[in-house]
């Protein structure tokens, strides 16, 4: 059954609930998606703390640095994200900063039936928010905070491929010193190849992601154990006081920016919650990923203490047991390349998915999206984003030239996103989980202190490259806030201009009385809805009720309709006749709710003809990834006017917009057969014939800034407002129309021009 009314809440996807072997399988699958980023950090972390061009650290410094890495991995990815944050996903199992914000300010309860209500006395519907006691004044600041974290995650999609691939490729200089100067062009070649194959999707590559990551992490753990045997004293790093003593002794706060690189990717543990579930992520990280990473870092530290300057130039590759050009070296080199490509692929795919969510939330313009898999839904390819990412990644690699320089810029985005998550989680503890404010403050102070330390250390790297993600993040968040505001004004205009269908077109009886027909009471104009399980040929109690109402209804001639020529009412109103034409028109409602869209009125005034079949289509993007095909359409017939239908098209936020007119017509015909089984055959035949010639009609708003009183600054304020709405928003809206992602020919779309004063 389609998600109408209260039943809509039952169709929302719940978090995955699996047990036994299925849970172990799901835990295995997490390896190839979630841990690619944090799993490739050992390639560059220790050199991020002690650069090859710097001094050789003492044994105590190495133990202190390793202690900082071990406890950072323990307190942040393990304790903060795996133990705590995973419990703060949405009811549908989604995670990430958007999920946290929507938990604080959940969307309004949606009246799904209202989308298909085209007549009635009032279009006002009281939607009570599923409210929490948090102040509404904080909504925009918290939205800005959430969008900043999101924008920095997008910039992370630029730096992760650049850092990881360059770090992996640089290992070739150990075995082949003659090609050491070719690291940059080799890295660029790998990255270009990666972006060129994005249009094919990740379906085929996904099958090898988890096994490759499993082997890669196993190799990290095994080589770490071999290296630890050479210096077992490295286990002193498990003492947290060693980390504190390091910073007290050296007073080198910048070391913390290198330690931060060990936890890059921990946000993915929470952001990818919707693809798996809490238990699978907890099992895979706690039982496998975390031990392998700890062993690898300890092993690298042990080799650095034993061999010193011999491995400082590239600690990861030089610490591989055996000869520099031996079999184990090349095995690890190949898997390092594969692991970094998987990490890059995961970030690129996540960027596509995130951009799609931003578009669906009206925080970004509509961009063309291509779905690349018939079996695995949600694999989306966005050409514009792909090419922009490729250009930016190549620029980063060429400009920074080395992985060490890239890591200076890399950590800032990660630290800021972690701090944003801490703030939103603290608010959720108080306002969503309804726990004591003491618990919320304790969480904020403890993890906020840790995140603040890392953020402060990364902030010191702004002159050395961290200004790049900061600049990218600020530009993106400014644009997304602007677009959210401007698009909100347009949606508000569209909502306020919806009208009662019976206030738009009139019958001969209305015209003879020279007055606008009184709105039809919903109680006396029952609309018929097709639901799963209804028998189109049967006659149940509801059919009899419809038939009984039909006997008391005023007969309406479907061929005689008029439209009001001007804004006058009563005796001064003039009407223009509307001829019924044998065609089907789909009027798109940009905002959902009761009434007919403003584009319907504009269409009738420009072309005074009424299509034989008129479909008012409302699109509902549900907070679930995918909607089953059989539940995508809910259709309602307006009984008092022949040929008018309200349709709600339900799609998941990762579904493609693919409105199929044939499926809608089938449901319309079933409704007609159910309403009048004896005399509906001619109507059904006519509808099927007419529907073969259909057109989509959408409004094209020519936005104009209205004057707003702002005291003495009115002129300046209105000039800026006009600049933003008319010169920026209007141009982008034209460049990226809402029909961009429709799977239909432009020949089937009519755009009705409307002046919209926002």
Q: Residue 132 has what pLDDT? A: 54
User: What are the backbone angles phi and psi of residue 95, rounded to the nearest 5°?
Assistant: -130, 180
- DSSP string of 138-198, one letter each residue: GHHHHHHHHHHHHHHHHHHHHHHHHHHHHHHHTTHHHH-GGGGGGHHHHHHHHHHHHHHTG
Report the candidate in 737, 140, 710 with the shortest Cα–Cα distance to residue 490.
Answer: 737
Residues facing residue 499 across a β-bridge: 596
The DSSP element (H or E) to which 634 belongs, if any, is strand 633-637
Q: Residue 496 has what pLDDT? A: 83
How far is Cα 360 from Cα 364, in angstroms, rounded to an integer? Answer: 8
Express the helix, strand and coil content of the chain in percent, nearest 5 each: 60, 10, 30
User: What are the backbone angles phi and psi of residue 617, rounded to the nearest 5°?
Assistant: -105, 125
What is the percent of the chain with per-residue pLDDT over 70, rounded to a whole number?
79
Between the two ends of the chain, the Cα-to-Cα distance in Å is 38
pLDDT, tens digit (0-9, with 9 covering 90-100), for 422-441? 999 999 999 988 899 999 99
What distances in angstroms separate CA 363 from CA 150, 366, 385, 388, 420, one per listed residue? 11, 9, 15, 18, 19
Mean pLDDT for the chain?
79
**3-state SS, residue 695:** strand
Residue, of 317 and 26, whose pLDDT is higher: 317
Q: Residue 127 has what pLDDT? A: 41
pLDDT, tens digit (0-9, with 9 covering 90-100), for 688-703? 888 888 888 888 888 9
Residue 376 has pLDDT above 60, yes or no: no
Residue 262 has pLDDT above 80, yes or no: yes
How far is Cα 122 from Cα 500, in angstroms, rounded to an integer? Answer: 8
pLDDT, tens digit (0-9, with 9 covering 90-100), for 179-226? 667 778 888 888 888 888 777 665 455 566 789 999 999 999 999 999
Residue 529 has pLDDT above 60, yes or no: no
DSSP state of 606: H
Q: Tell me the Cα Rg of the chain.
A: 31
How far is Cα 114 from Cα 107, in angstroms, rounded to an integer? Answer: 16
Between 171-185, 221-235, 335-349, 365-379, the lowest mean confidence (pLDDT) is in 365-379
The DSSP element (H or E) to which 326 belongs, if any, is none
Report the candidate in 25, 722, 43, 6 with the shortest Cα–Cα distance to residue 343.
Answer: 43
Residue 459 has pLDDT above 90, yes or no: no
Q: Residue 542 has what pLDDT? A: 35
How far is Cα 574 from Cα 565, in angstroms, rounded to an integer? Answer: 6
Q: Tell me the average pLDDT across 652-657.
A: 67
**Beta strands 694-704 and 575-589: pairing type?**
parallel
Residue, of 7 and 458, whose pLDDT is higher: 458
User: What are the backbone angles phi and psi of residue 129, rounded to the nearest 5°?
Assistant: -70, 150
Residue 553 has pLDDT above 50, yes or no: no
Cβ neighbours, 10 Å, residue 76: 23
The DSSP element (H or E) to which 743 belongs, if any, is none
**Beta strands 528-529 and 609-622: pairing type?**
unpaired
**3-state SS, residue 701:** strand
Residue 552 has pLDDT above 50, yes or no: no
Residue, of 701 and 512, whose pLDDT is higher: 701
Q: Residue 375 has what pLDDT? A: 42
Task: Look up the CATH number of domain 26-107+132-487.
Answer: 1.20.1740.10
Q: Residue 216 has what pLDDT? A: 94
Q: Residue 556 has what pLDDT? A: 37
- Is residue 14 within 8 A of residue 91, CB to CB? The reply is yes
Cβ neighbours, 10 Å, residue 741: 20
Residue 263 has pLDDT above 80, yes or no: yes
Residue 67 has pLDDT above 90, yes or no: yes
Residue 93 has pLDDT above 60, yes or no: no
Report the candidate in 277, 362, 278 with the shortest Cα–Cα distance to residue 107.
Answer: 362
How far is Cα 67 from Cα 237, in angstroms, rounded to an integer? Answer: 4
Residue, of 725 and 32, whose pLDDT is higher: 725
Q: Tell me the average pLDDT across 484-509.
A: 83
How far is Cα 107 from Cα 127, in angstroms, rounded to an integer? Answer: 10
Q: Tell me the average pLDDT across 557-574.
A: 58
pLDDT, tens digit (0-9, with 9 covering 90-100), for 408-426? 666 777 888 899 999 999 9
How far is Cα 613 from Cα 644, in angstroms, rounded to an integer? Answer: 6
* Chain centroid to CA 692: 36
Residue, of 82 and 570, whose pLDDT is higher: 82
What does the longest C-alpha to C-alpha distance in the chain come to?
101
The DSSP element (H or E) to which 424 belongs, if any, is helix 403-431
pLDDT, tens digit (0-9, with 9 covering 90-100), for 264-282? 878 778 877 766 778 888 9
Using a 10 angstrom Cβ sphere, with 0-12 exposed, 13-18 middle and 19 or more buried, the burial of residue 323 is exposed
The DSSP element (H or E) to which 229 belongs, if any, is helix 203-230
**Beta strands 575-589 and 561-564: pairing type?**
antiparallel
How far is Cα 330 from Cα 498, in angstroms, rounded to an integer? Answer: 66
298 band by pLDDT with thresholds 50, 70 and 90: very high
121 band by pLDDT with thresholds 50, 70 and 90: very low
How far is Cα 623 from Cα 651, in angstroms, rounded to an integer? Answer: 9
Between 103-112, 190-199, 517-526, the lowest mean confidence (pLDDT) is in 517-526
Q: Residue 710 has what pLDDT? A: 78
How far is Cα 408 from Cα 531, in angstroms, rounded to an integer? Answer: 58
What is the percent of the chain with per-residue pLDDT over 90, rounded to a whole number?
24
**Beta strands 528-529 and 561-564: pairing type?**
unpaired
How far is Cα 170 from Cα 713, in angstroms, rounded to an integer? Answer: 57
548 band by pLDDT with thresholds 50, 70 and 90: very low
Task: List the domain boundaries for the chain.
Answer: 26-107+132-487, 497-757
Q: Residue 146 has what pLDDT? A: 85
Residue 477 has pLDDT above 50, yes or no: yes
**3-state SS, residue 700:** strand
pLDDT, tens digit (0-9, with 9 covering 90-100), for 383-392? 888 899 899 8
Q: Residue 160 has what pLDDT? A: 76
Q: Residue 704 has what pLDDT? A: 92
Say which residues have a Cβ less than 8 Å from residue 348's Cβ, sequence separation at least 6: 157, 161, 194, 195, 198, 386, 389
651-687: b or e for each residue (b if 16 or more CB lie within 10 Å)?
bbbbbbbebebeebbbbbbbbbbbbebeebeebbeeb
pLDDT, tens digit (0-9, with 9 covering 90-100), for 165-178? 887 787 776 767 76
- Is residue 610 within 8 A of residue 556, CB to CB? The reply is no
């Amino acid at each position: 059954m389609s998600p109408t009314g209260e039943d809509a809440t039952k169709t929302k996807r719940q978090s995955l609930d699996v047990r036994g072997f299925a849970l172990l399988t799901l835990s295995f699958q997490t390896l190839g998606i979630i841990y690619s980023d944090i799993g490739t950090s050992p390639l560059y972390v220790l050199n991020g703390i002690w650069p090859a061009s710097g001094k050789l650290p003492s044994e105590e410094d190495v133990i202190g640095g390793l202690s900082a890495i071990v406890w950072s991995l323990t307190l942040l990815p393990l304790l903060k994200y795996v133990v705590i944050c995973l419990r703060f996903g949405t009811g549908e199992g989604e995670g990430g900063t958007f999920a946290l914000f929507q938990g604080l300010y959940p969307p309004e309860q949606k009246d799904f039936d209202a989308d298909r209500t085209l007549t009635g006395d009032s279009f006002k519907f009281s939607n009570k928010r599923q409210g929490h006691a948090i102040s509404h004044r904080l909504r925009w600041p918290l939205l800005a905070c959430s969008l900043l974290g999101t924008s920095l995650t997008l910039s992370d999609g630029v730096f992760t491929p650049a850092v990881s691939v360059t770090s992996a490729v640089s290992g070739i200089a150990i075995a082949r010193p003659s090609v050491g100067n070719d690291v940059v062009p080799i890295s660029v070649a790998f990255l270009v190849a990666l972006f060129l194959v994005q249009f094919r999707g990740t379906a085929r590559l996904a099958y090898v992601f988890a096994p490759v990551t499993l082997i890669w992490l196993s190799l990290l753990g095994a080589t770490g154990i071999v290296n630890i045997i050479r210096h077992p004293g490295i286990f002193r790093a498990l003492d947290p006081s060693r980390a504190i003593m390091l910073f007290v002794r050296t007073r080198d706060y910048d070391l913390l920016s290198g330690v931060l690189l060990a936890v890059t990717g921990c946000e993915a543990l929470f952001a990818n919650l919707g693809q798996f579930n809490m238990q699978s992520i907890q099992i895979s990280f706690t039982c496998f990923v975390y031990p392998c990473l700890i062993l690898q870092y300890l092993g690298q530290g042990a080799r650095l203490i034993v061999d010193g300057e011999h491995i400082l130039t590239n600690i990861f590759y030089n610490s591989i047991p055996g000869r520099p050009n031996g079999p184990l070296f090349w095995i690890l080199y190949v898997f390092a390349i594969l692991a970094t490509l998987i990490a890059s692929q995961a970030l690129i795919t996540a960027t596509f998915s995130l951009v799609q969510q931003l578009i669906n939330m009206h925080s970004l313009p509509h961009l063309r999206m291509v779905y690349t898999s018939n079996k695995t839904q949600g694999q989306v390819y966005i050409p514009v984003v792909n090419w922009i990412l490729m250009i930016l990644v190549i620029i980063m690699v060429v400009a920074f030239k080395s992985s060490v320089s890239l890591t200076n810029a890399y950590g800032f985005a990660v630290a800021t996103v972690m701090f944003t998550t801490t703030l939103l989680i603290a608010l959720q503890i108080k306002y969503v989980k309804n726990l004591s404010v003491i618990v919320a403050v304790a969480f904020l102070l403890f993890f906020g202190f840790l995140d603040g330390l890392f953020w402060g250390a990364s902030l010191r790297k702004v002159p050395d490259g961290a200004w790049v993600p900061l600049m990218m993040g600020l530009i993106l968040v400014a644009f997304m806030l602007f677009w959210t505001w401007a698009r909100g004004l347009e949606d508000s205009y569209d909502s306020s201009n919806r009208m009662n269908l019976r206030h738009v077109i009139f019958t001969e009886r209305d015209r003879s009385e020279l007055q606008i027909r009184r709105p039809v009471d919903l109680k006396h104009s029952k609309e018929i809805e097709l639901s799963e399980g209804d028998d189109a040929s049967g006659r149940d109690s509801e059919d009899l009720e419809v038939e009984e109402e039909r006997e008391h209804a005023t007969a309406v001639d479907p061929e005689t309709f008029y439209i009001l020529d001007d804004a006058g009412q009563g005796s001064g109103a003039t009407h223009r006749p509307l001829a019924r034409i044998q065609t089907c028109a789909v009027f798109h409602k940009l905002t959902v709710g009761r009434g007919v869209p403003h584009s319907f009125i504009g269409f009738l005034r420009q072309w005074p003809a009424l299509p034989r079949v008129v479909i008012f289509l409302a699109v509902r993007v549900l907070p679930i990834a995918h909607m089953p095909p059989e539940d995508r359409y809910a259709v309602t017939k307006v009984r008092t006017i022949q040929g008018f239908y309200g349709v709600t098209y339900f799609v998941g936020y990762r579904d493609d917009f693919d409105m199929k007119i044939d499926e809608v017509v089938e449901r319309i015909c079933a409704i007609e057969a159910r309403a009048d089984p004896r005399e509906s055959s001619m109507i059904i035949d006519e509808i099927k014939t007419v529907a073969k010639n259909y057109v989509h009609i959408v409004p094209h708003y020519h936005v104009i800034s209205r004057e707003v009183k702002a005291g003495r600054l009115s002129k300046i304020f209105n000039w800026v407002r006009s600049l933003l709405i008319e010169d920026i928003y209007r141009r982008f809206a034209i460049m990226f129309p809402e029909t961009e992602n429709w799977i239909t020919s432009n020949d089937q779309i009519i755009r009705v021009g409307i002046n919209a004063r926002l």
